[in-house]
Structure 1
Amino acid sequence: MSSRRLLYLGNGRKLASVARLDERFGSWGLSVERYWAYNGEFPGTLDGYDAIFLSGSPHGAYEDVPFINREHELIRDAAERGIPMLGICFGSQILASALCGRDQVFRRQSCEIGYKDLAVSAAAASDPLAADWRETVRMFVWHNDEVRHDHPDMVVLAASDDCPNQVWRHRTAPAWGIQGHPEVTRAQAPIWFEENRARMEKDGGDVDDFIAHPDEALEAKTMLTRFAEMVLRA
C-alpha cells in the first residue's frame, strides 16, 4: 500500500458518486481515506495527510451549514500546512470560498449544462496539473453556482462561453478547482445522466441527447492523474 495518504471528503448525499473517483485515486497509487463530510464525518487532524480531494454537493458553499463551516476551517488549515487540494464542482466552490472569501461564490441566474469546449488560458501551459491541455479542453459542465474570476489570488486556467472561471488554481496555496465533471467516464455518463434526469431537465438539459452522445473527456482527465502523480512524487 502507498505511504502517500489522500483524504477524500465526500460532500454529497452519498459518500461516493457513480464516477468512483475515490477508487481511481487508489488505483493510481494513493492510499485513500474516505470521510463523509456531508454526514458530519471529518478526521480529527490533518497530520499525516499528503493531499485532499473535495467532492461535489447539492449545497452551496455560501450556505450556513455545520459541515460546510467545518470544511472551510479544514481547507484553511490544509493551506497553511501546504497540503495539495483538488476540488470538483462544489469542491471547487468551497476552496474558493475558504481561501478567497465567501463572496467569491454566487448563485447564477441560469444553469450552465452540457458538454463544452473550454478555452484554455496561457497560464495553463506552466501549471503542474493543466500543462497537457491545448487551446481548448472538453468536459461536461453542470452548475447553478459560480466562482468569480477576478480575485487577485486566483489564476484562471480555463473558461467557457458562459462562465469565465471553469478551472482555476490559487496563486500561492497548492489548491485547484474544477467546476465541470471530468471525473465521469464515457461508460459511467449514461448512468449518471439517468440518475439525475429530473434535476438536469429542470436545469434545461437535454438528457436524452447527453445519453446518446457521452464523451470520455480524456484530455480533461489528465488534470486528475497529474494531481495523483504530483502527490506521489512529493
Structure 2
Amino acid sequence: MSSKGKRLLYLGNGRKLQSVAKLDDRFEGWGLAVDRHWAYGGQFPDSLDGYDGIFLSGSPHGAYEDIPFIHREHDLIRDAAARDIPMLGICFGSQILASALCGRDQVFRRPYCEIAYKDLEVTPHAATDTLTRDWGASVRMFVWHNDEVRHDHPDMVILAASDECPNQVWRHRTARAWGVQGHPEITAAQVPLWFTENRARMEQDGGDVDAFLAAEEDTPESKSVLTRFVELVKG
C-alpha cells in the first residue's frame, strides 16, 4: 500500500508545541504528513477523520490532573482506539494512553524520581511486537520520570522494564496503542541542549547532568520504536 498522503496527528502536550527533539519535523522527514495541534494550549482537531496515526508528546502535567486539555485528550484517545488508529505516546504520552484506555488509577506519583541512562530488560513479548521486534535482550534508554504507569493491568502487555520501574514500555492488549516511559526521541546532537535547558529540574530530581553530558550517549537501538511506528502508520 502506498504511504502517499498518510496523515499523522501530532499532539503537543508541553509548554511549547515543538520540543527539543523536533519529532514532528522528523516524522515529516520520514514521509508522513504531520498535522500539529498544541493540546496543552487547547488546540485539538474537530474530528479524527482522515488520520492514520497519532503521536502524543510529553508534558509537565500528570495524566491524573483535573485540567481541561487532559480531559479532552482522554476522550480523543478513546475515540482513536474505537477507530483502530495506531497511537504512540512518550513519557506523559504513555501515561495518558494508560489512563484513558486502562483507567485513571493506572498512573501514580512515584516517591522519588528515576533519572539515568539505563539498560532496560526486554520481555519475551517484545520479540513479536510490531514496534519492538528489533530489540535484543536489553535496550539502552535515558529515563526521567516522577509519574509512573502500573504494570499489572490485564490489558497491558509489558515490553521492557528497568530495575526501578516494571513498566517502561508497554502496548495495549487489543488497541493499537504503545507507551514509552523513557526518551528514545533525543538524538546525540540534541543531547547537550536538552540537558542544559533542563539542568535545574534534572538536578532537583537527583540527576547528575554533568555526567549525562559527558556520556554523550545516543541509544540508537531504542529509536527503532519511532521508525517502526512510522512504518505502521504508512501502511
Q: Give the TM-score range, shorter chain.
A: over 0.9
Partner of 1:38: 40
* Matched residue count: 233
Corresponding residue of 1:4? 6
Structure 2 residue 175 is matched with structure 1 residue 173: yes
* TM-score normalised by L of structure 2: 0.98
Tell me the alpha carbon deviations over residues 87-123 of structure 1, each in whole angstroms, 9 at most, x when there is no partner. Answer: 0000000000000000000000000001000000000
CA distance in 1, matches of 2:216, 2:163: 21
Tell me the secondary structure at the aligned position of residue 187 of structure 2.
coil
Deviations 1:180-214 (A, max 9, x none): 00000011011100000000000000001111112
Comparing 174-183 and 208-217, the one that deviates more: 208-217
Q: Which amino acid is 2:111 matched to?
A: Q
Letter in 2 for 1:124: A
User: Within 5 Å, which residues of 2 pair with 1:60-99?
Assistant: 60-99=62-101
Kindly provide the amino acid, as one letter, of the partner of residue 150 in structure 2: R
Aligned to 2:186: 184
Measure the CA separation in 1 of the matches of 2:81 and 2:216. 36
Residue 210 (str. 1) matches residue 229 (str. 2): no
- Secondary structure at the residue paired with 2:34? strand
- Please give the alpha-carbon distance, in whole angstroms, between the structure 1 residues aligned to 2:99 and 2:106: 6
Identical pairs, percent: 74
Give structure 1 regions of 4+ aligned residues with deviation exceeding 3 angstroms. none
Query: Gaps spanning 5+ residues in structure 1: where?
Result: none
1:104 pairs with one of 99, 103, 106: 106
How far residue 231 of structure 1 moved from its aligned partner, in angstroms, is: 1.0
The SS at the match of 2:43 is coil
Aligned-residue Cα RMSD (Å) equals: 0.8
What residue number does 1:54 align with? 56
Shift of residue 2 of structure 1?
3.4
Given the alignment of the two structures, is residue 195 of structure 1 paired with residue 197 of structure 2, yes or no? yes
The aligned amino acid for 2:101 is L
Aligned-partner Cα distance in 1 for 2:82–2:234: 20
> Would you say 1:136 and 2:130 are equivalent positions?
no
C-alpha separation in 1, matches of 2:38 and 2:53 = 16
Query: How do residues 223-234 of structure 1 correspond to structure 2 at under 5 angstroms?
Result: 223-233=225-235
Q: Residue 163 of structure 1: SS of its match in structure 2?
A: coil
